[in-house]
Amino acid sequence: MAFGERRICYNNFAGHLLNSYNPNLLYPSLEGTWSESDWNNWIRMISSFGFNIYEFWLEPFFFCREGISSETGKYFINTMNTVCRIAHDNGIKVEMIVALATSGAKWETLCPNDKNDCDEIRYLWNTWTQLLPELDIVGIFPGDPGGCAANGCTAETYIDKSIEICAIIKKNIPRAEIEFHTWGPPFFGWGIIENPPGREKEFVQECQTSAWKFSKERMEKSMNYLLKKLPYFPSGTAVAINMGFTPDGIPDGEKNAIPWAREIAKTNPILTWDFSLTEGENAILPHYRFKRLFDQRRAERYAAPYCGGICFTMTPKLNQLSLYESALSFLKPDADYDQAAQNFYEKLFGPDGRKIVSYLPLFEVVPDWGNYARPIYEQSNFHQSMCELTDLLHLLKGHEREIHFIPSAVQYREELLWFAEWFAQISSPTPDYDALAKQYWRKVYAIYDKIPKHVDPRPEAATKRLVNFFRSGGKV
Q: What's residue 457's pLDDT?
A: 84
Phi-psi domain of 208 (left: phi exceeds 0; alpha: psi -120 through 50; beta: other): alpha
**181 is a domain residue:** yes
Please say which residue of 335, 367, 393 terminates a domain: 335
Range of the domain at 331: 6-335
State in Å, rounded, how far the first CA of the chain is from the last one. 43
Residues 377 and 424 in one domain: yes
**Which of residues 335, 358, 384 is at a domain's end?**
335
Query: In terms of domains, do 197 and 319 share one?
Result: yes
Same domain flag for 157 and 265 = yes
Contacts of 225 (CB under 8 A, 6+ apart): 155, 156, 159
Chosen domain end from 295, 310, 335: 335
Asked if residues 239 and 270 have their Cβ atoms less than 8 Å apart, the reply is: yes
Number of structural domains the chain divides into: 2
Determine whether 244 is exposed, middle or buried from the number of CB atoms within 10 Å of its CB (0-12, 13-18, 19+).
buried
Q: Do 297 and 360 fall into the same domain?
A: no
Contact partners, residue 171, CB within 8 Å, separation at least 6? none
- Do 284 and 396 share a structural domain? no
Is-contact 421 390, C-beta < 8 A? yes
Residue at 1 is within a domain: no
pTM of this prediction? 0.96
Same-domain check for residues 95 and 133: yes
Same domain, 84 and 233: yes
383 and 300 within one domain: no
Is cis: bond before 367, omega within 30 of 0?
A: no
In a domain, 424, yes or no: yes
Q: In terms of domains, do 293 and 428 share one? A: no
Question: Average pLDDT per run of 10 along the chain, which is 476 residues long?
Answer: 95 96 97 97 98 98 97 98 99 98 94 98 99 99 88 97 99 98 92 87 84 93 98 98 93 96 98 89 93 96 97 97 98 98 98 98 89 85 98 98 94 99 98 98 97 88 94 85
Cα 123 versus chain centre, distance: 27
**Quick one: 398 and 314 in the same domain?**
no
Closest by CA to 458, choosing from 4, 15, 5, 3, is: 15
Residue 476 lies in a domain: no
Residue environment code for 388-425, b if the CB has 16+ CB neighbours within 10 A, otherwise e: ebbebbeebeeebeeeebbbebeebbebbbbbbbbbbb
Of 245, 296, 244, 237, nearest to 269 by C-alpha is 237
Same domain, 325 and 354: no
